[in-house]
Each structure stands twice: as C-alpha cells, then as structure tokens.
Amino acid sequence: MIKYFDHAATTAVDKEVFEAMKPYFMEKFGNASSVYRLGKENKEAINIARMKVAEAINCNMNEIYFTSCGSESDNLAIKGIALANSKKGNHIITTEIEHPAVLNTCKSLEKQGYRITYLKVDKEGLINLEELERSITPKTILISVMFANNEIGTIEPIKEVGDIAKKYGIYFFVDAVQAIGNIKIDVKDLGISALSMSAHKFYGPKGVGALYVKEGVEFTRIQDGGHQEREKRAGTENVPGIIGLGKAIELANTNIDAYNKKLLELREFYFSEIGKRIPNILINGSKNNRLAGNTNICFKGVDGARLLYELDKRKICASSGSACSAGLLKPSKVLLAIGVPSQIARSSLRVTFGKENTLEDTKYLVSSIEEVVKELRR
Ligand SMILES: *Cc1c(COP(=O)(O)O)cnc(C)c1O
C-alpha cells in the first residue's frame, strides 16, 4: 500500500464527492445552457454548488465564478482586476513567495506596463505589514497575498492586510488554494475582495476551481466566448467537476475542526520524532502560524531529490518543495526567500498530512526517513 504524504500537491477524491459527481457523467450529461430540462436541471445543480461555496466563505452566490483550476482563478482575478482598473493605476503589490500562478501572472503584467512590488518575507515566511503599507502609492490598484504558503505552510496575516487594503481603498486578492478546507474563511470579516480555490486540494476532483469576486469589484474576463458564468468565464461548464467542488467544500467545512485536530497531532508527532532521531536538521516555516498538516524540513548534507527517490522505493510519496519545481534541480525560491542557504535548501523534504494518514503510517515514515538520511549522509 502506498503511503501518501503529499496533500499539498493534491488529494484523492472523497468517496462521497465521487458519488455526488457520478450521475453527471452519463445520465445527467446535458449542457447547462440548454433550454430543455436535461440542461436546465444542470444549471440548477451548478447553482446549488455555487450556494455551497458561497456559504462556506460567507459571500453571496452571485459572487462565485467557476473556473478550470486554481491557476485559472489566480489569472482571472489578477489580470481581470488589473485590466479593468488600469485607468486608476498600474501598481500591484504581492509577495515573493506566491505560487507560480500568481508570480508568473504578475511577471506577465509587468511586460504589459504594470509595476509590481514583491514584498519580502521574514525567516518564518511572514510578510511585514509596515513594508506593505510603505509600498502603497496613489497608483496601487491591487494587493495580492496568499492565505497560506504551499511549501512551508505559513499563514499570512490576512485580516491585517485586509484592514490596510480597506484603509487605502485598494482591492485585496487572496490565493486561498492551500487554505480552503484547512482554515475557516469568512471573506467579509477578512476584508477580501477576491479569493481563489481549487477542488483537488480539498478532496475534490482535479480540473475545477472557483473564484470569489466581491460584488462591485470590477474585473475583465480573460477568456472570450459564450455567456457562461455571467459573461466572466466562457466555456461549457464542467458540471461533474462543479458538483464535486460543491460537495467537497461542504464536507471540508463541516469537518474542519476534527480534521485540523487530527493533522496537528500527526504533525507534532512527526516534528518531535524527527527532531529526536535525526541530528542536523532545519525546520522551515513558522512554529505558530502554520497549516496544521504542513511540515518542511532540511536534512543537511542530503540531496533532496535522492531522498525522495529512496522514499518512493519504500512506497512513500512526499515532495521536495512545490510539485511545480520538483524535477528541476534548483533550490526552492520560497526557502531562499526565508533565508535558507541554497546548498541547504536542496536538502528539503515537504511532508503534508491528510485525512487517510494514521499514526502507524507516520511511524513508518519517520523510521524510513531516518534510515534513508543515515544512508545518504554516509
Ligand atoms: C495548487 C496551488 C495553486 C494551483 O492550483 P491548480 O488547481 O493546481 O491550478 C495555486 N496556488 C496555490 C497556493 C496552490 O497550492
């Protein structure tokens, strides 16, 4: 049996979610834009899913747009807001540890004449709120800060950023792809103008995401075509995917406290056992502001790629950093940003816990790591 410890990369579809999706592949296959019942019923089903998403984050259902993934939601929010508000200004503030879906979107806007400020982070991965405030100019139209980092699990001070954004009348976008399902989010309370999520990170299917955009926030669509998603996102709706996302977010929010408690137990056990048994390690990220299921540790003197390979031989799935940068030999940009020297950054192992993990599995994980690290250090 495979032991899966890479829940920040993706998760298995929950059985209940799969059951909810099933009818929409073969029996209820209609196009949601069609006028006959087979289509109209799907439009209604999509709107029920929309309501579930809205309920989960405390917004109205007309503020939710379905997309194909977290990356698309990030693109649509940032490019969409930037394009629609270019008359007001061309300056965007983000952080240097954002996911590539945000960073590369900002890079692309830079080529089109936008000016981007990339906020630095401290050794825990936290942004500095004073630096944020100092970076604001009369031309600033958008602040984009991720809720929780995908590599080191650091949870950013979102409420405080929301307050600053409000004070200066600037839109605030949050990439919440790692946070949804792990943290209870209330977009109103947090002062968030737009927020992205992706179903496959919380036991839903791959290939479907959602974007919240607060009513009144102007944004331009970036994909032209039909009238779907109230003119904001053209393309025939992925009905099974959307139904799956709706079911997954509902389940996640219902069970969020018990889920966090379980993950926290596994994480603390893992940290303490690794700390006791393996010398010369560096725990990356924050002790207190951290996703319950996230761990990221450097095993000094060990090549991270070989560590993963040896763990794979023992049927253990983990990650060296973000999935997007795995395979490349480059050290993680996030680890470099928190001040880890590049040689040490190459020895990192990200273990992210999830619902099917047990204490037994975690013991096996720890002893496997201990064995492999000893071997590779020899
Ligand atoms: C996974 C992830 C994304 C991208 O989501 P996809 O659905 O895989 O495109 C964006 N941001 C963060 C923080 C992520 O973890």
Three-state secondary structure of 23-84: HHCCCCCCCCCCCCHHHHHHHHHHHHHHHHHHHHHCCCHHHEEEECCHHHHHHHHHHHHHHH
User: What CATH number does domain 15-254 carry, 3.40.50.2000, 3.40.50.720, 2.60.120.10, 3.40.640.10?
Assistant: 3.40.640.10
Structure tokens at 258: 């018990």
pLDDT band at 21 (very low <50, low <70, confident <90, very high): very high
Q: Does domain 3-11+256-377 have CATH number 3.90.1150.10?
A: yes
| Catalytic status, residue 106 | no
**Residue 352 Cβ < 6 Å to ligand 1:** no
Q: How far is the CA of 3 from the centre of ligand 1 (A)?
A: 22
The string of pLDDT tens digits covering residues 253-280 is 999 999 999 999 999 999 999 999 999 9
Q: Choose among 126, 155, 36: nearest CA to 338.
A: 126
For residue 199, the ligand 1 atom closest to its alpha carbon is: 7
Q: Across the chain, what does the average pLDDT equal?
A: 96
- Does the pLDDT value for residue 127 go beyond 60? yes
Q: Choose among 39, 74, 64: nearest CA to 239.
A: 39
Q: How far is the CA of 71 from the centre of ligand 1 (A)?
A: 6
Q: How far is the CA of 164 from the centre of ligand 1 (A)?
A: 25
* 373, amino acid identity: V
The string of pLDDT tens digits covering residues 50-96 is 999 999 999 999 999 999 999 999 999 999 999 999 999 999 999 99
How far is 262 from 182, CA to CA, in rounded Å?
A: 11
Domain positions in the chain = 3-11+256-377, 15-254
Model-level pTM? 0.97
- Mutation test of ligand 1: which of 94, 156, 178 has the most ligand atoms closer than 8 Å to its C-beta? 178
The string of pLDDT tens digits covering residues 163-200 is 999 999 999 999 999 999 999 999 999 999 999 999 99
